Amino acid sequence: MKIMIAGLGLIGGSMAKSLKRAGYAVAGSDRPSVEEAALKAGAIDAIARDTAAYDVVFVALPPDAAMQFIGASAFREGAIVADICGVKGVLEKFVYSAPRVFRYVGCHPMAGKEVSGFENSDASLFDGASMIVTLCEKTDPAALSQLKELFGQMGFGLVRECTAAYHDEKIAYTSQLAHIVSNAYVKSGTANGFPGFTGGSFQDMTRIAGVDEEVWTRLYMLNLPAVTAELETLIGHLSEYLAALQGGDEQALKELLRQGRLRKAELDREKKIL
């Protein structure tokens, strides 16, 4: 099996390293300096120039670049092309907007770091993590099966299947909204002079505040309805807490906190079931 990875940043580089760890030969493409670093590190065996030479092509690029790459590249007939973008609906719509000779599967690994770039990639990044795979009536079962086998060999502990719409709705809440909250949280002037006044709570709240605005702005714009709905819901809930505090209503505040505690316990039980 000939495997290519387009984009050798944190995720693409980690995919290359995990596939190498599993015994596969991997070719990759990126900027010349990144390609050189990946070759030197042994993350790839060769620089990929001809996309039509590969059986499986992982597209580890931001959404706009991924669509441009897929649209402009020639692929082997029957090849598997899998993007790993953080939004799926727009990719699926683009791919199926024209006849394709390849078999497309949308993927999104649920793993990452606060830092980016090939230099931070890690063969163990996906160990025990989940991979989301988005399906529709055009998804080829054999391509899905082959990818699931690869994902298991790469270290993923769970492959979760869903539609692109379901993925985008869930990711708007579990990832995109969380990054907005963290990014907004650090804008308080009270954050100045914080050393010595923090514990785990502050670290948890600020860990993902340093988003790359170029990347994340596009992710939000490409998933606008879902992100907007989640942010509106959060603002609505926060306004309830603010009203209770401003009104000095201790019972109302206690009830809000109780509801949140019970909801967290419910989510923890659901996680254990999975």
| pLDDT at residue 5, as a whole number | 98
Task: Indicate the pairing of strand 130-134 with strand 3-6.
Answer: unpaired
| pLDDT at residue 171, as a whole number | 96
Give pLDDT tens digits along the chain (274 positions): 999 999 999 999 999 999 999 999 999 999 999 999 999 999 999 999 999 999 999 999 999 999 999 999 999 999 999 999 999 999 999 999 999 999 999 999 998 877 789 999 999 999 999 999 999 999 999 999 999 999 999 999 999 999 999 999 999 999 999 999 999 999 999 999 888 888 889 999 999 999 889 999 999 999 999 999 999 999 999 999 999 999 999 999 999 999 999 999 999 998 777 6
**Which residues in the chain are classed under CATH 1.10.3660.10?**
167-273
Q: Is the separation of the CB atoms in 59 and 82 below 8 Å?
A: yes
CB atoms near residue 176 (< 10 Å): 22
The residue written with tokens 């923890």 in the block is 268
Task: List the structure tokens of 193.
Answer: 């002079």
CATH class of residue range 3-162: alpha beta
Secondary structure letter of residue 174 according to DSSP: I
pLDDT per position as a tens digit, 222-240:
999 999 999 999 999 999 9
In Å, what is the CA distance from 204 to each residue of 79, 198, 208, 224? 41, 10, 8, 25
Rounded CA separation 242/248 (Å) = 10
- The helix (run of H) or strand (run of E) holding residue 246 is helix 224-246
- The pTM assigned to this predicted structure is 0.91
Provide the H-helix boundaries in 22-133.
32-41, 63-72, 89-95
| pLDDT at residue 261, as a whole number | 97
| pLDDT at residue 270, as a whole number | 87
Give the relative orientation of helices 10-21 and 141-154 as an angle to the nearest 10 degrees.
80
CATH architecture of the domain covering 167-273: Orthogonal Bundle (1.10)
Q: Residue 78's beta-bridge partner residues?
A: none
